Homo-oligomer: A and B are copies of this chain.
């Protein structure tokens, strides 16, 4: 199917991009660009008028989701040890670089093209380099390029989330290759199933407003598999490993919260009542999550920690993600509370089981993502479900979506992990781990406070 639709030339481009090589690509890109800049002169069909307001909000949402990437870098970066702070932040920034290019070259064409390979993925060769949508406007009045960029940010942040699960112990090179492959073979198909108009989960009426399954469950499950496959950090859990900069973690969670408004309210793809609803529940769920975590800790340890409040915010934000446009504030409070309780419990369980999901990607994103995707069925507004469907049926559909996601991500991630680890190398050696990723892999030190001159 794929072969039949694309010329061999473009195909080769999209394959080659997976490896961050770039030299040849530069020439190719230039040629292609020149060719297209001419062809762009062909007259466009009549288009829906632009809704400048909706467009403005979608532009902003794109910027806000982008803000989440440095936010995540700060959140994660603050939690690792001093010697790994840059390497950990690089995981987020490298996702910006690699997936940022990949998405424009082929990711969008694969995710939102018409079904191919039996619906496993989409493909629209005209959208290689986002060519076809260069000047088109969606029926909602928002230029398609904005939608493509908005979606591209989701594609960037998801692999960056995974990185928390194997923080402090992977090679940069292997990581770069892993996320490129993971993005094309795990994220893009999931995204197609759930959000493309001919995706099978979309057709089933599964509700995933802003990416509970596509983003959080997929990142959580893939992270868990990676943590199990790659093994724990040297010395874990006997050696106490302290966050190097909780102050930065707090800053990061602040930016994440702000950015999440774009993530969730932007997923309404307009600027109206639905958007307002999504924003309101995002705000309320995050606050509820934080409040709940604070209270749980106050009861459990008689102290509320700043990392606790940050984790609660995150749990609340994740749980509301799939539900953002469809539940009411009261439901958001309930979901926020439930999420913090479940995540707290899951992390305690992890500590007991002893595996090293370093920054609790499964503990927070996986757990709250699953909770949100399933439980939203209980809180959903009447009008939001496919007509006549009962809450219990919806719960079934949601569970199906969640289970498929879990199984697909687990299997595919494992395959990719083995592949990358055996070829390029993913797990960092013991000496490198002791020395720290910053100096070992990047030739840098995060803080130069000791260098006095």
Contacts and interface: CB of A to CB of B under 8 A. Distances in A.
Interface of A: 20-23, 25-26, 29-30, 32-34, 36-38, 40-41, 50-57, 59-60, 62-64, 66-67, 69-71, 73-74, 77, 81-82, 85-86, 89-90, 93-94, 96-101, 104-105, 129-131, 134-135, 137, 143-146, 148-149, 152, 172-173, 176, 235, 239-248, 250-251, 253-255, 257-258, 261-262, 265, 270-273, 275-277, 279-280, 283-284, 286-288, 290-292, 294-295, 298, 301, 303-307, 309-310, 312-313, 327-334, 337-338, 341, 378-383, 441-449, 451-453
Contact of A56 (B148, B271, B442): B271
A60 B66 contact: no
B30 A305 contact: no
A149 B334 CA distance: 18
Contact of A74 (B64, B242, B251, B292): B251
Given A69-B254, A295-B22, A378 B30 contact: yes
A131 B20 contact: no
A291 B97 contact: yes
A333 B104 contact: yes
A449 B447 contact: yes
B444 A63 contact: no
A57 B54 CA distance: 10
A172 B305 CA distance: 10
A247 B60 contact: no
B306 A89 contact: yes
14 contacts: A26-B338, A50-B272, A51-B52, A54-B56, A55-B272, A66-B258, A69-B254, A73-B254, A90-B309, A93-B309, A101-B284, A129-B333, A240-B453, A301-B443
A333 B101 contact: yes
Given A59-B261, A93-B253, A105-B333, 19 more contacts: A25-B337, A26-B337, A29-B337, A33-B334, A37-B382, A51-B53, A52-B52, A59-B276, A66-B261, A69-B254, A70-B253, A93-B250, A100-B286, A104-B287, A129-B329, A134-B277, A301-B443, A304-B441, A306-B442
A277 to B, nearest CB: 6
Lowest 8 A-B CB distances belong to which pairs? A70-B254, A100-B287, A52-B53, A53-B53, A97-B290, A143-B276, A56-B57, A33-B330
Given A54-B53, A101-B288, A452 B328 contact: no
A128 to B, nearest CB: 9
A73 B38 CA distance: 41
Given A295-B21, A381-B40, A444-B307, A247 B85 contact: yes
B29 A275 contact: no
A271 B93 contact: no
Nearest to A39: B382
A39 to B, nearest CB: 8
Given A52-B271, A67-B258, A96-B287, A242 B26 contact: no
A95 to B, nearest CB: 10
Contact of A22 (B251, B262, B291): B291
A309 B97 contact: yes
